[in-house]
Amino acid sequence: MTAKSAAAPTVDEAELARFAALAGEWWNPRGKMAPLHKFNPVRLGYVRDAACRHFGQDGKQDGKHDAKRLDCLKGLRILDIGCGGGILSEPLARLGAEVVGADPAAANIEAARLHAAEEKIAVDYRATTAEALAEAGERFDVVLAMEVVEHVADVNLFVELTGAMVRPGGLMIAATLNRTIKSFALAIVGAEYVLRWLPRGTHQWDKFVTPNELEIALDRAGLSLIDETGVVYNPLADRWRLAADMDVNYMVTAERPA
């Protein structure tokens, strides 16, 4: 049974403790977070391209959000909810975005702040929850929930709260794991027990979220699905890439109507 936080019903206390214990590992590309470091380029590219397409479509903004520009996300306020040690927040800030990185684990936020200070990158890191941010009336051009929804205590409530922070005309982008026999074989047995890419217990298969379940939650939050893609690992190239196969890892983009 999932142990929820009384103050923040979407926070799973066991998951929180598990990732807080890994706080010192976030920025070690050869440590326990190595799989996430390898996954980072494909999710960063997806977020960048989705935001640039959406906010700079049809030549609007005078090319301001051209994905080829080093500051292509300039002027966009982005929330990275469940940011961990900030390995996605930092590159988004490098691309010009005003980034708020939020995580309920104070140890993760401390690790994120220390690394950002070392790199001289401005990110607004906060040890807080989706509940607190939504209650404060925060609004963003883009809300990211990357590798988060499979760890929360209440997916529908989490999407409702995070979705409410997407301003009209804005986007919510999520990356998660599908609940299939294939994902159990690859993401649990393969990644945690055979290859040992991840510490055992990192994921719980019954908490994986199907694309249909996520779309329903987004729709209830007033968001319309506009894109979805699978993400697969190429062992020969040792890298992740976008693909049509959504059986295991996948990402989606949803829009709040203007």
pLDDT in tens, 114-169: 999 999 999 999 999 999 999 999 999 999 999 999 999 999 999 999 999 999 99
Give the per-residue pLDDT at 59: 43
Quick one: average pLDDT of 212-224? Answer: 98
Q: Rg of the chain's alpha carbons, rounded to an integer?
A: 17
Strands 166-177 and 224-234: unpaired
Burial class of 212 by CB neighbour count within 10 A (0 to 12, 13 to 18, 19+): exposed
Higher pLDDT: 74 or 5? It is 74
Question: Which pLDDT band, with edges at 50, 70 and 90, does 58 fall under?
Answer: very low
Specify the pTM: 0.89
Q: Check if the beta carbon of residue 96 is closer than 8 Å to that of residue 71.
A: yes
Question: Which pLDDT band, with edges at 50, 70 and 90, does 68 fall under?
Answer: confident
Percent of the chain with pLDDT over 70: 89
Quick one: average pLDDT of 174-197? Answer: 82
Give the per-residue pLDDT at 192: 65
Quick one: average pLDDT of 199-203? Answer: 72
